[in-house]
Amino acid sequence: MIRLLLIILIALLMGTGLALGLQYDLGYIRISLGHYLVETNFWVGLGLFVALVVLAVVGINLLRRFRRGTGLVATWLARSNERRARRRTTQGLLALAEGNWPRARKLLTSAADRADTPLINYLAAAQASFESGDHEAVDDLLRKAFESTPGSDLAVGITQAQLQLAGNRLEQALATLIRLRKQSPNHPFVLKLLKNTYFRLEDWRELAKLLPELKKRNVIPEDELHELEREAWHNLLEQAAEECRRQRKDNPDASLEPLTRLWDELPGFLRRDEHTIRDYARLLAGLGDEGQAETLLRKVLRNHWSDELINLYGRIEGHKPDEQLLLAEQWLKDRPNNAELLLALGRLSLRNELWGKAREYFETSLRLRRSRETLAELSRLNAHMGDEEASIKLLMQGLEQDNGLPELPMPRA
C-alpha cells in the first residue's frame, strides 16, 4: 500500500514538473541530415528521444527472448532425438536377442549417431550383420565402432576376433589376436581367445608356448590346463615321430633326435605322467627303438606301477628278453594277482620261446580277469601248439563276450 502511494506521488510530481516546464520556452532542436532539415520544440524532441530509447530497450529484450526461445527449441529437439535413439537402441537389442537380424541391424545403425553409447550400437549391429552372413558390413560397422569412441580399439578388436572365430576365419582371427596381444600382453580374454585359435588351427607348438602364460594368469581352471598340456604335447610327440619317419624314408639310419629332443623339452609333470610315458614309449617302439622304450618303461615301473605301462612292457622286445622276463617275474612276487602283469609275463615267455610257461601265465590271467586280449593270446598259442579244439573254444568265448550274446538253448553235438 505504501509502495503504491509512493508511485502515485512520484507520478504526480513528474506530471506537475512537466506541466510547469511546458510553460517556459526552452528553445528548439534543429537537426540537419544532408538536404533534409528537422526542427522541433525542445519538449517534443525530448519526447521523441525518450520514445526511441524505450523502443531500443524493448527491441533488445525481444531479441534476447527470441534467442532464448530458439535455444529451448533446440534443446527440446535434441532431447527428443536422444529419446528416440534410446528407444530404437532398446528395440534393436531386443530384435538381436530374438534373432531378427535385419531389423536389429537397421534399428541399431539408425540410432547410433544420436545414441548415448554409439559403440554398443555398432558392435551389436556388427553381430547382427555377422549372423546375417554379411561379412563386408561387419568390417564396416566395426570400423565405425572404432571411430565412434576413442580408446575402444581393444573392445572392437576382441569383438572382431570373436566374430572371425565364429565364422571359422581362423587365420584372420589369429592376426587380430596377435595385434591385440601386443597392445595388452596380459589381457586374460585375449589370451583365452588366442588359446582357442591355436587349438583350432592345431598349432601345437605355439599353444605349448602359450600354456605357461595361461597358467600364470589363471585364464582357465587347473585341471583343464593340465588336460590341454597333455593334448598339446601328445600331438607334438606325434608330429616329431612323423618327422622321424620322413627322415628315415630318405635315410634308414637317421636318428630319432627330433623325438628324443622333444621329450627333453616336456614339462616335468608330463614326463612323470603315465599316459605321456606310454605315448612316448609306443612311438619309440614304432620307430624301431624298442630297446630305449623298454629301458624307459623299466625305470618307470620300478618306482611307479601302472597296469597300462606293464601291458605295453609285455609287447616290447628289449635288448635282453631273458633279463626282461626275469625282471617281470620279480614284480610278480609283489603282485601275484595282477592280471595285466600275468598277461605281460605270458608274452615275455613267448619271446623267450617258453611255450608251456606262457600258456600257464595266460590261463592264470584269464582266471583272474577274462579279457579279449588274453583270450586272443591263449587261443593263438593253443592253435600253434596243435590244440585246435581249445583254440576254437576260446575264440567262441571271445566272440560271445564281445557281442554280449544272451544265454539261449543250443543243440547238443
Show me where the domains of the chain are located: 82-150, 344-400
Q: Assign 330 a pLDDT band (cuts: 50, 70, 90).
A: very high
Q: Please give the average per-residue pLDDT across 128-133, as a whole number.
A: 87
Reading the block at residue 313, the C-alpha cell is: 612292457
What CATH architecture does domain 82-150 belong to? Alpha Horseshoe (1.25)
Specify the CATH architecture of the domain 344-400: Alpha Horseshoe (1.25)
Q: How confident is the model at residue 350 (pLDDT cuts 50, 70, 90)?
A: very high
Is it the case that residue 70 has pLDDT exceeding 90?
no
Global model pTM greater than 0.75: no
Range of lowest pLDDT (154-168, 283-297, 328-342, 371-385) = 371-385
pLDDT in tens, 362-407: 999 989 998 888 888 888 888 878 877 776 777 667 666 665 656 6
- Give the whole-angstrom CA distance, residue 77 versus residue 233: 64
Average confidence score pLDDT of the chain? 84
Domains 82-150 and 344-400 are alike in CATH topology: yes
Instruction: Flag whether pLDDT at 41 surpasses 70.
Output: no
Which pLDDT value is given to residue 49? 66
Residue 24 predicted with pLDDT over 60: no
| 305 or 75, greater pLDDT | 305
277, burial (CB in 10 Å: exposed 0-12, middle 13-18, buried 19+): buried
Condensed to tens digits (0 to 9), the pLDDT of residues 44-54 reads: 666 666 677 77
Question: Cβ contacts of residue 271 below 8 Å, gap of 6+?
Answer: 263, 277
Lowest mean pLDDT of 38-47, 53-62, 331-340, name the range: 38-47
Cα separation, 21 vs 41, in Å, equals 12
Residue 37 has pLDDT above 70, yes or no: no
pLDDT tens digits for 148-202? 888 889 999 999 999 999 999 999 999 999 999 999 999 999 999 999 999 999 9
Q: Pairing mode, if any, of strands 36-41 and 28-33?
A: antiparallel
Bigger pLDDT: 22 or 58? 58
Give the rounded percent of residues in the chain with a pLDDT score beyond 90: 47
Residue 317 has pLDDT above 60, yes or no: yes
- 100-109 contacts: CB < 8 A, separation 24 or more? 101/128, 101/129, 101/131, 101/132, 102/128, 102/132, 104/128, 105/129, 105/132, 105/137, 109/141
Give the whole-angstrom CA distance, residue 193 versus residue 210: 11
The residues, any chain, with a CB within 8 Å of residue 365's CB and separated by 6 or more, are: 339, 340, 342, 343, 346, 371, 374
Long-range contacts: 362-365, Cβ < 8 Å, 24+?
365/339, 365/340
Q: For residue 393, what pLDDT is reported?
A: 73
- The candidate with the shortest Cα–Cα distance to 360, out of 318, 395, 372, 348, is 348
CA-only gyration radius of the chain, Å: 47
Question: E strand or H helix at 347, and its extent?
Answer: helix 339-351
Residue 248: its pLDDT value, please?
86
Question: Mean per-residue pLDDT for 239-258?
Answer: 89
pLDDT, one tens digit per residue, over 195-238 is 999 999 999 999 999 999 999 999 999 999 999 999 999 999 99
